[in-house]
Amino acid sequence: MKGITVSVVGVGRVGLPLALVLADEDLKVFGIGRSQEKIKLLNQKIMPFMEKGADKLLKKYVNKNLFFTTDYKVIKESEIIILTLGTPVDENMNPVLDQIDESIEQMIPFFKKNQLIILRSTISPKTTFYVKEKIELRTKFRVGKNIYLAFCPERIAEGNSIIETKEIPQIIGGIDKISGQKARFFFEGIGIKCVVSDAVSAELAKLFTNMYRYISFAMANEFMVIAESFNRSIHEITNLVNKDYKRGGLVLPGLTGGPCLFKDGFFLINDNPYLDLITASWKINEALPLFILKKLHERVTFRHKKITLLGLAFKPEIDDIRESLSFKIRKALIREQAQLVLHDPYVKDYPHQEIIHDLKIALKGAQIVIIATRHKEYEKKKKEIIKNLDKNTYICDIWNIFDTNKMIFKAGQVEKFSRK
């Protein structure tokens, strides 16, 4: 693949790790972003977010075969263009394609014959066809004849993108046969196994992947609500179901958020209003924070209580707070006039409230502690957490970090429950 130049449009949590992987494969790579500030940081070899292995690659390749810019004109030097742009939903949960529209408009003057355009971020079904029609309407090019287009979704776990990009088979969804072949040749050329299909099937495969996980979490969360209604432990019951049972496989409950899982179901039900399973899963997962607070409120009032919220990221070991349900908890507690303290070992700042990064300071005087994100630091520092709390401090531990098999308990009860 030497001699190939790739432009990666979007240098966020999908695009930037991919650009680093491609640079590591000895390709010439341009990373195109919108923020001058972020581009400046990257050119100074500073990662704007956490990603395993990224710092080393950034320092190694910047200004050698990896270049960051806000100028789309570098596209005319590229054989491959990869779009890694956000596709959010609006207030009515309909897909918003503004970022894709804006980027294509900026790319159009620099398109050239035989370029391959790859869409990589999660998109609603038939968006690849939408892009095809836009290109053909706004340019002289004809997709499949003198310019090529495919949807090749990322399926990595944020925080492990560098490793997983090469490990996980790449779905290839060509808008036509030739486009699919060219996309397959590109990914196989950098050592990635490919599974080839058409564009719509690939779009659905990515959405189904996310929705399968989201619905599984919703089932676990609903089972937890049922178990709580019988005053029983979902962790103990899940162990009973799964232990040495061939047809087990129940997942454990927990706060389920993030920028993909939250919205992707709406891409599927936008034209199909009777898909109740997806809608119900969204309701269950989004309602869980308030259910947890309701159960906690049955034991203790929140007004003027010092409450420490441990974990702000939407999943462990990252610093991404987008669509994190921790902030639904925060909002509800502020409404209850609680004195709220935020802690996360990885999230540096939050514009609406200070984040305390010293765990001991964050816990000092806390009357209630809620573990919202299952960071490994909290598991490693279980004893330290208990040591810094009064024995009557309530702990809400949906993740069962303290191995009590109880969602809510007092700090002084931890040792007793753990012995059982």
- Domains annotated for the chain, with CATH where assigned, are 5-192 (3.40.50.720), 216-413 (3.40.50.720)
Residues near 255 by beta carbon (within 8 Å), at least 6 away in sequence: 288, 289, 314, 324, 325, 326, 372, 373, 398
CA separation for the pair 100, 81 (Å, rounded): 13
Please state the rounded mean pLDDT for residues 342-360. 97
CB atoms within 10 A of CB 357: 15
Please state the rounded mean pLDDT for residues 127-152. 97
Of 80-89, 233-242, 264-273, minimum mean pLDDT range: 264-273
Please state the rounded mean pLDDT for residues 169-179. 98
Residue 268 has pLDDT above 80, yes or no: no
Alpha helices, DSSP H only, in 116-259?
A: 127-138, 161-167, 177-189, 199-229, 234-242
Angle at 154 between CA 272 and CA 268, to 5 degrees: 5
Instruction: Please tell me the predicted confidence (pLDDT) of residue 417.
Output: 55
Give the residue from 323, 308, 381 showing the smallest Cα distance to 158: 323
Please state the rounded mean pLDDT for residues 375-392. 96
Instruction: Please tell me the predicted confidence (pLDDT) of residue 276.
Output: 84
CA separation for the pair 129, 105 (Å, rounded): 16
Instruction: Please tell me the predicted confidence (pLDDT) of residue 161.
Output: 95
Instruction: Please tell me the predicted confidence (pLDDT) of residue 419.
Output: 47
Residue 406 has pLDDT above 80, yes or no: yes
Residue 154 has pLDDT above 70, yes or no: yes
pLDDT, tens digit (0-9, with 9 covering 90-100), for 308-343:
999 999 999 999 999 999 999 999 999 999 999 999
Residue 168 has pLDDT above 70, yes or no: yes
CA separation for the pair 220, 154 (Å, rounded): 26
Instruction: Please tell me the predicted confidence (pLDDT) of residue 27.
Output: 97
Angle at 335 between CA 334 and CA 339, to 5 degrees: 30
Q: Which residue has the higher pLDDT, 37 or 90?
A: 37
- Asked if residue 95 lies in contact with residue 127, where contact means CB atoms within 8 angstroms, the answer is yes
Residue 26 has pLDDT above 60, yes or no: yes
- Identify the band that residue 274 occupies on the pLDDT scale cut at 50, 70 and 90: low
Instruction: Please tell me the predicted confidence (pLDDT) of residue 182.
Output: 98
Mean per-residue pLDDT of the chain = 93
Please state the rounded mean pLDDT for residues 210-236. 94
